[in-house]
Amino acid sequence: MKALPGAPHIHWRAADLFIEGVSADALAAAHGTPLYVYSRRSMLEALAGYQRALAGRRHLVCYAMKANSTLAVLQTFARAGCGFDIVALGELERVLAAGGDAAKVVFSGVGKRPDEMRRALEVGVKCFNVESEAELATLSGMAMSMARRAPVSLRVNPDVDARTHPYISTGLKGNKFGIAHDQALAAYRMAARLPGLDVVGIDCHIGSQITEIGPYLDALDRLLDLIEALEGEGIAIPHLDLGGGLGITYTDETPPDAELLVRQLLARIDARGHGHRELLFEPGRSLVGNAGILITEVLVTKRGSEKNFCIVDAAMNDLMRPAMYGATMAIVPCALRDGEPELWDVVGPVCESGDWLGRDRALVVEPGDRLAVLSAGAYAMSMASNYNSRPRAAEVMVDGERAVLIRERENIAELFAREHLVD
Ligand SMILES: *Cc1c(COP(=O)(O)O)cnc(C)c1O
């Protein structure tokens, strides 16, 4: 049994790809393609890394559910004790529908609508991660009108370079996220004065797919400096939320594992005398990314003078990361064939040149074969769209020998069920 990069439970048994104890080809035959398949054990083991490092401390791991918000995924993490990091009302309702606890929810996001704030106050979320002074004022007013107080943390932009893709780097000065470090004191003074708010913490989130520990330590130091300044002024900051962002292995990346990262952060926190604080993390990708694959069937192969195209039935609407970020994701056959590999561009049927899943991949393929895009558990199904009126894929969760259909494939009638013709 040979495991694939970053994914101990996705492996070869002889020539066949397996997710835990279940064959990828058998799942595709039963449920059709494109099909997302997740290993439950991989998700729980990824979480266990954070939990081991944080054992014995007051802490909360809030799964950043925008990475994959399917109910059964949320249920898996809720049962394992997780809270959730949400960025929209729909995500809050999903947490509740999956049996999650509102009191373990942190509500992030650079723009929250009043109805979203109201609902979050009504169900009693743990904290609002606030990103502007204007939002502090609105939230305070809303809480007062409901005769409640809103627990708040300010998302501080520590101005550190996470050294990742510009679209997923969020902790630098020039970007839309957070409150600039040098304005944070003033914003906290305002929060402390507003009658509808309780200051409960501080947070940051410096980016995504981060593969080094250094940027986290830099951000931590800047947050601890601020906490010390705030507490010097009598504004208590009970919890410290270091966000998410830890990277995974797509091909040859070598991110630290979560346990190592958290242990190093804890060492710094303790060394600076902040070990008593409640600690929050908001991991998304690192909990689910390597746990999922996308299975797709080869429709046609086209050999050209410059390029060979392998046209598959999954497309950019199913998996946006290559088109959106130029992301490289490993692609393997579900059943290995003998033969001399050729170089293929693996592309979908959508009418956009950006519709590709992988470029110059050495594969032995024939029409009718199935391929699996690896590390497709995060920012994959949750970003899927209906572009080209393509129904969204089905999803299966594997747990040992058991496979459960956790989301049915969308049908075409559903795609236009809410549309109206004009007279
Ligand atoms: C997206 C996001 C996360 C999760 O990021 P990952 O890279 O998936 O770990 C955490 N916190 C906030 C505020 C986010 O926007």
97-126 pLDDT, tens digit per residue, is 999 999 999 999 989 999 999 999 999 999
**Is any atom of ligand 1 closer than 6 Å to the C-beta of 255?**
no
pLDDT score, position 28: 98
pLDDT score, position 352: 85
| Segment 83-90 mean pLDDT | 98
| Segment 88-104 mean pLDDT | 98
pLDDT score, position 174: 66
Non-local (6+) Cβ contacts of 412 within 8 A are 389, 391
> Which H or E run includes 220?
helix 214-232
Q: Which residues pair with 197 in a beta bridge?
A: 150
pLDDT score, position 34: 98
Q: Both ends of the chain: CA-CA distance in Å?
A: 62
pLDDT at residue 4 greater than cutoff 80:
no
Compute, in angstroms, the gap from residue 89 CA to the centroid of ligand 1. 16
**Is any atom of ligand 1 closer than 6 Å to the C-beta of 333?**
no
Nearest alpha-carbon partner for 312 in 251, 369, 364: 369
Residue positions annotated with a catalytic role: 351
pLDDT score, position 167: 58
Nearest alpha-carbon partner for 358 in 317, 384, 313, 328: 328
% pLDDT > 70, the chain? 96
pLDDT score, position 166: 62
pLDDT score, position 345: 97
Q: What is the position in ligand 1's atom list of the atom closest to the CA of 203? A: 13
pLDDT at residue 159 greater than cutoff 90:
no
Rounded CA separation 297/290 (Å): 21
Q: What is the position in ligand 1's atom list of the atom closest to the CA of 155? A: 13
pLDDT score, position 125: 98
- 161 band by pLDDT with thresholds 50, 70 and 90: confident
pLDDT at residue 313 greater than cutoff 70:
yes
| Segment 223-252 mean pLDDT | 96
Show the domains of the chain with their CATH numbers: 2-39+289-415 (2.40.37.10), 108-283 (3.20.20.10)
Compute, in angstroms, the gap from residue 170 CA to the centroid of ligand 1. 10
pLDDT at residue 75 greater than cutoff 90:
yes
Distance of CA 219 to the CA centre of its chain: 20
Distance of CA 185 to the CA centre of its chain: 30
Sign of CA dihedral 4, 208, 259, 151: negative
**Is any atom of ligand 1 closer than 6 Å to the C-beta of 286?**
yes
Non-local (6+) Cβ contacts of 385 within 8 A are 317, 320, 392
pLDDT at residue 170 greater than cutoff 70:
no
Does residue 312 contact residue 299 with C-beta atoms inside 8 Å?
yes
Q: Residue type for 317, please?
A: N
pLDDT score, position 162: 72
Rounded CA separation 386/392 (Å): 6
Q: How many CA atoms lie within 13 A of 281 on its CB side?
A: 27
pLDDT score, position 252: 93
Outline where DSSP puts E strands in 220-336: 239-241, 278-281, 292-303, 308-312, 331-333
Mean of the per-residue pLDDT values of the chain: 95
* 292 phi and psi angles, rounded to 5 deg: -125, 155
The whole-model pTM stands at 0.96
**Tens digit of each residue's pLDDT (9 = 90 or more) over 134-157:** 999 999 999 999 999 999 999 999
Rounded CA separation 83/94 (Å): 13
pLDDT at residue 3 greater than cutoff 80:
no
**Is any atom of ligand 1 closer than 6 Å to the C-beta of 244?**
yes
pLDDT at residue 276 greater than cutoff 80:
yes
Enter the tokens of residue 15: 């020539």
What is the Rg, in whole angstroms, of the alpha carbon atoms belonging to the chain? Answer: 23
- 6 band by pLDDT with thresholds 50, 70 and 90: confident
Mutate to test the pocket of ligand 1, among 241, 262, 282, 379 (most ligand atoms within 8 A of CB): 282
% pLDDT > 90, the chain? 90
pLDDT at residue 222 greater than cutoff 90:
yes
The C-alpha torsion from 114 through 116 and 68 to 409, rounded to 10°, is -110
Q: What is the position in ligand 1's atom list of the atom closest to the CA of 247? A: 7
Tabulate helix, strand, coil % of the chain (nearest 5).
Answer: 35, 30, 40
Nearest alpha-carbon partner for 406 in 33, 99, 75, 10: 75
**Is any atom of ligand 1 closer than 6 Å to the C-beta of 205?**
yes
Q: What is the position in ligand 1's atom list of the atom closest to the CA of 208? A: 7
Sign of CA dihedral 52, 53, 56, 60: negative
Rounded CA separation 284/287 (Å): 6
Compute, in angstroms, the gap from residue 244 CA to the centroid of ligand 1. 5
Return the axis-axis angle of helices 184-193 and 214-232, rounded to nearest 10°.
Answer: 50
**Tens digit of each residue's pLDDT (9 = 90 or more) over 183-211:** 999 999 999 999 999 999 999 999 999 99
| Segment 162-186 mean pLDDT | 75
